[in-house]
Amino acid sequence: MRELVVLGTASQVPTRHRNHNGYLLRWDDEVILFDPGEGTQRQMLLAGAPMTPLKRICITHFHGDHSLGLPGILQRISLDRVPHPVAVHYPAGGQEFYDRLRHATSYWDNAEIVAEPVGAGFTVETSAGRLTALPLAHSIETYGYRLTEPDSRRMVPTLLAERGVKGPAVGELQRAGRLGDVTIEQVSEARPGQSFAFVMDTGLCDNVFELARGVDMLVIESTFLAQDAEMAAQVGHLTAGQAAVVARESGVRKLVLTHFSQRYPDPDRFLEEAAKEFDGPVVLAEDLLRVPVPPRG
């Protein structure tokens, strides 16, 4: 299963209808929690998302609406005695904030939490592919994340049958790349890897486009509408129209808008503004919404 579970969508402060940020990406066996804001633990309960499968947590920056839920998440991981290590990625320059959140209160620490700070050139291999991070343009040190699955090959049954490859020999061919005179290229076809990008709190910069380049799903902040573009630039945020331009120019397949300012009572305006710039599918994130990653192209 590959899907995004939206846990919260508000910028700065929660509202009656929007919790602080929180986004859970399920990518086969890799489960990643992005930016756990205040209340994320409860939102996971409401979404039916258990804590045990969680493999890693990615924090873009240490503003409260993106990180104040971390202590509760870490304590719940310990309470549930999650049996595998859980990595936490965060801006290296915010180490003091991570240390405070890591042990914000007293509790019995039963889990293996692995701190893996993010800096220049950060990359890590996961079961889902390569996770990378690039710096963004905000008021404090902030990173966006990208998950890129490696390309692979899909075995074609008719081609295997033509060359008499069957049973355990198929697995041997996949592992070795050759079985006698038969090569894997002769009995398979290319299977391009999928990709996902997560971009929060930032003004427009080159790395926003680099993170979004060709991804199947882009989750991106759209705090403001175009009428307040000047304010957005001053505080290091995007408008819905700018987010859509990023999606269009980067060749994104599905655009997910989130992180909405409470100053706008009508959320449909974000969708309308984005649709003027991007003609692909646009999802207006709502709390507890499940957004499937598009099928392979």
Q: Is 259 marked as a binding-site residue?
A: yes
Q: Angle CA(151)–CA(252)–CA(64) in degrees, nearest 5?
A: 100
| Tokens describing residue 216 | 């199947």
* Contact by Cβ (8 Å): 37, 66: yes
Residue-level pLDDT, tens digit, the chain, 297 residues: 999 999 999 998 999 999 999 999 999 999 999 999 999 999 999 999 999 999 999 999 999 999 999 999 999 999 999 999 999 999 999 999 999 999 999 999 999 999 999 998 899 999 999 999 999 999 999 999 999 999 878 887 887 788 887 888 778 878 888 878 877 888 778 788 999 999 999 999 999 999 999 999 999 999 999 999 999 999 999 999 999 999 999 999 999 999 999 999 999 999 999 999 999 999 999 999 999 999 987
Instruction: Tell me the pTM.
Output: 0.91
* Contact by Cβ (8 Å): 198, 60: yes
Q: Is 63 marked as a binding-site residue?
A: yes
CATH topology of domain 2-151+192-292: Metallo-beta-lactamase; Chain A (3.60.15)
Q: Is 65 marked as a binding-site residue?
A: yes
Active site residue 268: no
- The residue ranges of every structural domain in the chain are 2-151+192-292, 154-186
Given the residues 28, 35, 65, 206, the one annotated as active site: 65
Q: Is 17 marked as a binding-site residue?
A: no
Q: Is 61 marked as a binding-site residue?
A: yes
Q: Is 89 marked as a binding-site residue?
A: no
| Tokens describing residue 75 | 């304590």
Closest CA to 282 of 290, 271, 269: 271
Q: Is 201 marked as a binding-site residue?
A: yes
